[in-house]
Structure 1
Amino acid sequence: MRQEVHRKPTPGSVADRPAAPYLRGMTNASDIALTPAAAARVAAIAERQGKPAILRLSVEGGGCSGFQYRFGLAEGIDDDDIRVDTDGATLVVDSISLDLVRGCSVDFVDSLGGTAFRVENPNAASGCGCGTSFAV
């Protein structure tokens, strides 16, 4: 697996703020990963839709556990995004969501229960059965 991490520093960005207590010790974007299975799925979806192979992961309030993951293909990369490239696909995370997903791995699973992108989040204190909602 070939993975590259890119970060454009911006004044006042998340990188300039102290880490939340549950994130101390995690200080760089390499703590976020896109697995080869997820990269392959992003590339396949993007090719079908004629879009760049850029998967945006963001976190919103809501869901049954307090926060929920949102996935979508992105048209581009913002200046304050964390960017991780794996096997020709890119995972981007906005600076606001970064504190909640640092240390995560984004995978794609294809099982009898269905197919989905899954986030393995070491920061989550709990989650729900659907796999898209979590609490810290």
Structure 2
Amino acid sequence: MSEITLTERAARRINEIMASEPTGSMLRISVNGGGCSGFQYAFDVDRARQDDDLVIERDGAAVLVDQVSIQYMDGSVIDFVDDLIGQSFKIENPHAIASCGCGTSFSL
């Protein structure tokens, strides 16, 4: 079974975002080819859960990850950071050997 962790800060921010979305909306995180390092994370609001999605839940927040993306994200920690350069979701991925400054692109 895949292990992806959602921090308390990330769950709190997801709940804030979903409060203004239609009932039943969830955050979908996927890995796509592209970006400046080879792969990039995509963040979307989705109401359609697929049968084979991994659902990560914490404190009322739900994150969907498709089966293809799970293999790239296994062992990752999804966090939310608020620092001098702005607010963003940050994924600490143990499989990434390099990432770019934007934090949404990585290589394996």
Match of 1:14 in 2: none
Q: 2:92 aligns with which of 120, 127, 134?
A: 120
Aligned residues between the structures: 108
Per-residue deviation at 1:50? 3.1
Which runs of structure 2 are paired with 1:1-136 in the superposition (5 Å)?
28-29=1-2, 31-52=3-24, 54-136=26-108
Match of 1:8 in 2: none
Measure, in 2, the Cα distance between the counterparts of 1:109 and 1:39: 12
1:99-136 deviation digits (Å, cap 9, x = unpaired): 10011111111111100001000000111011000000
Q: Is the 8 A contact 1:53 1:89 kept in 2?
A: no
Measure, in 2, the Cα distance between the counterparts of 1:105 and 1:72: 18
Question: Which residue identity does 2:10 align to in structure 1?
Answer: A
Higher helix share: 1
Length-normalised TM-score, structure 1: 0.75
CA distance change for structure 1 residues 112 and 53 in 2, over 3 Å: closer, same or farther? farther
Q: What do you get for the CA RMSD once the two structures are aligned? A: 1.1
1:75-115 deviation digits (Å, cap 9, x = unpaired): 13110101111000011110011110011111111111100
4+ runs of 1 displaced by more than 6 Å? none
Per-residue deviation at 1:53? 5.0
SS at 2:19 equivalent: helix
Length-normalised TM-score, structure 2: 0.94
Instruction: Point out the structure with max Rg over C-alpha.
Output: 1
SS at 1:97 equivalent: helix
Measure, in 2, the Cα distance between the counterparts of 1:54 and 1:35: 16
Q: Where in structure 2 are there 5+ consecutive unaligned residues?
A: none
